[in-house]
Amino acid sequence: MRERGVRILGEVTMTRTTTGGSAGKTGKSDNGARKWSAAKLAAGFISHEELLAPMNSNAPGGDLPILGHARAVVIVAFCAKTTPANLSRTLAELGVDGISFQNCVFDGVGKAGYRIKIDDIPDGPDTKLIKVVSVIQNAARASAVDAERVG
């Protein structure tokens, strides 16, 4: 018999005992030895709710004066119908129409409660998504823009 320890995030350890047989090769399971308890899962991983909580506008600190990088990435990736892994690609490489992309980003920034001029959003075929993120992440909160116009 051999014991294997797997270290997860520095502190959680799962130990599994194997007999050295060919259970994996014959398709037989090793009777659930890979099941983790709820305590081990909770100690070693973050839930989706915890991961996304800071992006919620109702979260403490969610009412930021500028849009911010995380929200900008979400808006740009959504409008380009891609994932953040493609931020280094251009609109042409992704087959995205610049005008509809620009309108989508403009609407997304507005729905998030921020304001930017539509002409400030790059829409050329050689525009990289990360460039759009860098432009819109500094969009001002709508209430701050309105206050500047009144005062």
Host domain of residue 102: 52-150
Element spanning 3, H or E: strand 2-8
Are 67 and 99 within one domain? yes
The span from the CA of 28 to the CA of 63, in Å, is: 53
DSSP structure class, residue 21:
S
Together in a domain, 34 and 87: no
- CA 35, CA 74: separation in Å to the nearest integer? 34
Q: Is 114 helix (H, G, I), strand (E, B) or coil?
A: strand
107 versus 52: the higher-pLDDT residue is 107
Q: Please check whether residues 26 and 75 belong to one and the same domain.
A: no
Based on the structure, what is the number of domains in the chain? 2
User: Residue 7 above 60 pLDDT?
Assistant: no
Pairing of strands 12-18, 114-115: unpaired
pLDDT confidence of residue 8: 44
Q: Are residues 62 and 124 in the same domain?
A: yes
The mean per-residue pLDDT over the stretch 67-96 comes to 93
Q: Collapse the DSSP code of 8 into the 3-class scheme (helix H, G, I; strand E, B; otherwise coil) and give the result.
A: strand
Q: Are residues 16 and 79 in the same domain?
A: no
Q: Using 50, 70 and 90 to split pLDDT, how confident is the model at 41?
A: low
Residues 141 and 116 in one domain: yes
